[in-house]
Structure 1
Amino acid sequence: MRLSVVIPVYNEKETIREIYQAVHAVPFDLEVILVDDYSTDGTRSILRELEGPDTKVLYHEQNMGKGAALRTGFQNVSGDIVIIQDADLEYDPQEYPRLLQPILDGKADVVYGSRFVTGEYRRVLFFWHMLGNKFLTLLSNMMTNLNLTDMETCYKVFRREVLQGITIEENRFGFEPEITAKVAKQKVRIYEVGISYSGRTYQEGKKIGWKDGISALKCILKYNLFR
């Protein structure tokens, strides 16, 4: 079994080396795909140092968004299982064994890592951000008839065959409700696993904002009602 780790990257020079090392510390046969979404802070020069036999670095020539970076990454995976990893330090790659277990056991085709199911720890931060997340997850669940607790989580794991049946259209954070709607329509087996979460403040580099929440709301309606 080979694991493809797709990491969208935008202006993460302070964290990219550390997260790359953490990913390589997990006990799997790895393929790492880093997609630079036109970073301007020096991240690109660091990424060039990381290229190697098990690491592809792909470059966008304009900033397009997380969804676009993931679309590029998914088009280049060759592993049996694919996991999304953010380039910051909010999500811990040491969670990979637990996230992959339902797929390795033959029980699941897709696994979501939930920040709201009991994990080992969770940094206490923004109430309104959490409330917005829960609202979007609730609305998504109403449309998909799933009972997810964290639709917006970064940690989503797929058997590669599932991704091959999906075309990602959204360029930004609308990717999350889009992929959830499209996975639900495939009638695949979806599991959730509780994860730890070390969220960042906006001063520490968090990028998602209220406008992305509005976009996610539109995408929930778009991909569930009009497709």
Structure 2
Amino acid sequence: IYFFTNRIIIIGCGPKTMKVSIIIPVYNEEKTISAILEKVRQSKLPAGFTKEIIVVDDASTDSTLKKIKNLNLKLKLRLITHSVNRGKGAAILTGLSKSTGDLVLIQDADLEYDPADYVRLLEPFKNKNVQVVYGSRLLNYPLKLFGKHKTPMPIHLIANKFLTHLTNFLYGHKVTDMETCYKVMNRKLMVSLSVKANRFDFEPEITAKILKKGISIVEVPIKVKPRSYAQGKKIGWQDGLIAIWTLIKYRFVD
């Protein structure tokens, strides 16, 4: 506020800008890393949002790290490396510890998830009451077991549906895609959850802790392009069993 003789002039600061920390855990993704980083760089955000890109290489043994370093100057990203492979969850938590945004958005490096969905994922945060948004593959991704347009790797979709139904049963909420990579949330909330999972059990643990706190998860439909094991998919049936145990454990243990 400035005073000039008999006048008062009030200069406002305008709407608050929200910073989004995009955390990309990476392990042996030499075939896709350049393309996904370029997509993230070019991604559009809603008005009033800015981004920082944090890449965590989880001790890749192929040329992934070299490609990231070659792109680093152009993309202005923050690169963090693990000396030994610790798992996807550990990579996300490392990125979280270095993040400075108001929000955290998790992005896989395999091109299954399209950064073109960022606008849709972030729009709900214009409502100050929204703390968590999931991008749901299952809102626009029907299961088709037969025919020309059958679902790629339907066993994974069936397993995901089972885990999601188990989540809803245990926690009394209704989500459609618990295992989605696209999880966006308030950074301070994410830190407060004290997630311990180092590997693929990150997804069920963080979801369980969010729902146990009574926090609503807003879901928006996203595009998905599933890949096969031959193309580099890493999650296996053992991870499904661990997910079941994780969901049950955190229902009764903090």
**Structure 1 partner of 2:65:** 44
Is residue 24–residue 108 contact of structure 2 (8 Å, CA) maintained in 1?
A: yes
Measured after TM superposition, the shift of residue 49 of structure 1 is 2.2
Residue 155 of structure 2 aligns with an amino acid whose one-letter code is: W
Q: Distance in 2 between matches of 1:156 and 1:70?
A: 11
Measured after TM superposition, the shift of residue 114 of structure 1 is 0.6
**Structure 2 partner of 1:194:** 221
Question: Is 1:34 equivalent to 2:55 in the alignment?
Answer: yes
Measured after TM superposition, the shift of residue 107 of structure 1 is 4.4
Q: Distance in 2 between matches of 1:39 and 1:86?
A: 15
**Structure 1 partner of 2:30:** 13
Question: Is 1:2 equivalent to 2:42 in the alignment?
Answer: no
**Structure 2 partner of 1:60:** 82
Question: Is 1:144 equivalent to 2:165 in the alignment?
Answer: no
Q: Distance in 1 between matches of 2:129 and 2:228?
A: 36
Q: Distance in 2 between matches of 1:117 and 1:34?
A: 29
Residue 41 of structure 1 aligns with an amino acid whose one-letter code is: D
**Aligned counterpart in structure 1 of residue 109 of structure 2, from 78, 87, 104:** 87
Equivalent residue of 1:204, what SS? coil
Is residue 44–residue 116 contact of structure 2 (8 Å, CA) maintained in 1?
A: no
Is residue 30–residue 54 contact of structure 1 (8 Å, CA) maintained in 2?
A: no
Identity of matched residues, %: 45
Task: Say how many residue pairs are matched.
Answer: 225
Q: Cα gap change, 1:174/1:105 in structure 2, threshold over 3 Å: closer, same or farther?
A: same
Q: Distance in 2 between matches of 1:176 and 1:123?
A: 26
Alignment TM-score, normalising by the size of structure 2: 0.84
Is residue 121–residue 135 contact of structure 2 (8 Å, CA) maintained in 1?
A: yes
- Rg comparison, structure with higher value: 2
**Structure 2 partner of 1:124:** 151
Alignment TM-score, normalising by the size of structure 1: 0.94
How much is the aligned-residue C-alpha RMSD, in angstroms? 1.6
Measured after TM superposition, the shift of residue 105 of structure 1 is 3.0
Measured after TM superposition, the shift of residue 13 of structure 1 is 0.8
Measured after TM superposition, the shift of residue 30 of structure 1 is 1.5
Gaps of 5+ in 2: 1-17, 142-148
Residue 98 of structure 1 aligns with an amino acid whose one-letter code is: R
Q: In the TM superposition, what whole-angstrom CA distance separates every residue of 1:134-178 from its partner, at most 9, and x where no partner exists? A: 111111111221101100000000011211212121111100110
Is residue 6–residue 33 contact of structure 1 (8 Å, CA) maintained in 2?
A: yes
Is residue 123–residue 199 contact of structure 1 (8 Å, CA) maintained in 2?
A: no
Gaps of 5+ in 1: none
Is residue 175–residue 217 contact of structure 2 (8 Å, CA) maintained in 1?
A: no
Q: Distance in 2 between matches of 1:48 and 1:152?
A: 30
**Aligned counterpart in structure 2 of residue 70 of structure 1, from 80, 89, 92:** 92
Q: Distance in 2 between matches of 1:3 and 1:226?
A: 31
